[in-house]
Amino acid sequence: MAQPPLSQRIQRLERELGVRLFERTSRQVRLTEAGALLLTRARELLARSEEFLATAHRIRDGETGLLRAALPPDLSGETVAALLADFDRRHDLAAPELELHELSTAQQLARFASRDLDVGLIHHPCDITGLELGPVLRRDLGVLLPPGAPAADLTEVPLASLTGHDLILFPRTDAPALYDDLLTTCARNGYTPPAVRHAQGASFVRGLVLSAGAVALTPRDTVTAPDLVWRSLAGAPLAWRHSVAWPKGRGSTAVTAFADAATHALRGTAGAAPDVPTRPLHLRPASEYWL
């Protein structure tokens, strides 16, 4: 700091405190006794303030304090429980408090953008700009059928054999790209449902399957209704593809612990397996780029 503004600041401080801090002679400037006493206290205050700011930053970075995490609504109770138990085991040293929310992929992305979420389990495909990802895991989807449906007699159900049944799906706003992708894949495999009914809660879905002859797509591990039939789909054309995600550059030991726990829980309780793109992809001329 330049000399004149520094002298002005000191004088202002002395006026504010009503205490003379320095003795000024023509040749030198010396700390007064009062000044020396206050200096020790001032240093303590500064140290406390720095510690306060550092704690705030650590909380922001998820190293201690709060880890704001989210899971999608379509996990089984076993997976959620396994994840939480495993997270506690992995992280009891730094012991951050876990603030866990049940949020759709779209809600999680919005909260990542507004910095209100530290880590979450998302569904692909979604807009992953600005995110870092854990491994992508795949949970194959099967179909929930009413007991009398002809397809219930098959061990593996081809999607085309669901023709005529309405399809029960989550609301599109939860994960728009996934919603569109599921319907495209159904169409690609010969199943275009006459109507799509939006439902999410297990009992509501069950009611629709039992009474309206509609079918739902769901992984085996989340099936709870004993009076419905679950069958895997021939050729496993449909899957949930999950990964843990967090904002780029904001990983921390707590985030890593959550990511590891989620990956472990999905593999252990939901039969999730690493996802490798296998379908051929033909670029058309309008793509403009070429590999």
Partner 1 sequence: MTDALGRVRAAFAEAGVTGWLHAVDIDTGAQLDAGADQPVCTASVHKLCLLVTLHELADTGDLDLTEQVDCPPLGRTPGPTGLAAMRDPVRMSLRDLAYLMTAVSDNTAADLLLGRVGLDAVNRTTARLGLTRTHAVHTFGELLATLRQDAGPGGARILTDPHVLTRLRALDPARTNRSTPRDMTRLLSAVWRDEACAPEHAAAVRRLLGLQVWPHRLASGFPFDDVHVAGKTGTLPTLRNEVGVVEYPDGGRYAVAVFTRTANPAATLPAADSVIGTTARLAVEALRART
Is 181 near partner 1 (CB under 8 A)? yes
Q: Which of residues 203-232 bind partner 1 (CB under 8 A)?
A: none
Asked if residues 74 and 104 have their Cβ atoms less than 8 Å apart, the reply is no
Minimum separation from the CB atom of position 132 to partner 1 (A)? 7
What angle in degrees, to the nearest 10, is found between the helix axes of 253-269 and 77-90? 140
Is 176 near partner 1 (CB under 8 A)? yes
The residue type of 291 is L
Is 33 near partner 1 (CB under 8 A)? no
Q: Closest Cα to residue 245, out of 100, 133, 136?
A: 133
Asked if residues 103 and 71 have their Cβ atoms less than 8 Å apart, the reply is yes
What's the residue count for the chain? 291
User: Given candidates 10, 32, 125, 225, which one binds partner 1 under the rule CB under 8 A?
Assistant: 125
3-state secondary structure of 213: coil
Binding-site size, partner 1 (CB under 8 A): 31
Minimum separation from the CB atom of position 74 to partner 1 (A)? 18
Nearer to partner 1, 93 or 281 (CB): 281
Minimum separation from the CB atom of position 23 to partner 1 (A)? 55
Q: Which of residues 231-290 bind partner 1 (CB under 8 A)?
A: 243, 277-290
Asked if residues 66 and 99 have their Cβ atoms less than 8 Å apart, the reply is yes
The residue type of 114 is S
Is 196 near partner 1 (CB under 8 A)? no
* Spatial separation of the C-alpha atoms in residues 12 and 10, rounded to whole Å: 5
Is 183 near partner 1 (CB under 8 A)? no
Is 131 near partner 1 (CB under 8 A)? yes
Nearer to partner 1, 213 or 251 (CB): 251
Asked if residues 218 and 206 have their Cβ atoms less than 8 Å apart, the reply is no
User: Given candidates 3, 28, 129, 211, which one binds partner 1 under the rule CB under 8 A?
Assistant: 129
Q: What are phi and psi of 35, to 5 degrees?
A: -60, -45
Is 114 near partner 1 (CB under 8 A)? no
Q: Which stretch binds partner 1 (CB under 8 A): 11-19, 48-56, 119-127, 263-271?
A: 119-127
Three-class secondary structure assignment of 27-67: CCEEECHHHHHHHHHHHHHHHHHHHHHHHHHHHHCCCCCEE
Nearer to partner 1, 104 or 161 (CB): 104
Give residues in contact with partner 1 (CB under 8 A).
Answer: 124-129, 131-133, 136, 176-177, 180-181, 184, 243, 277-291
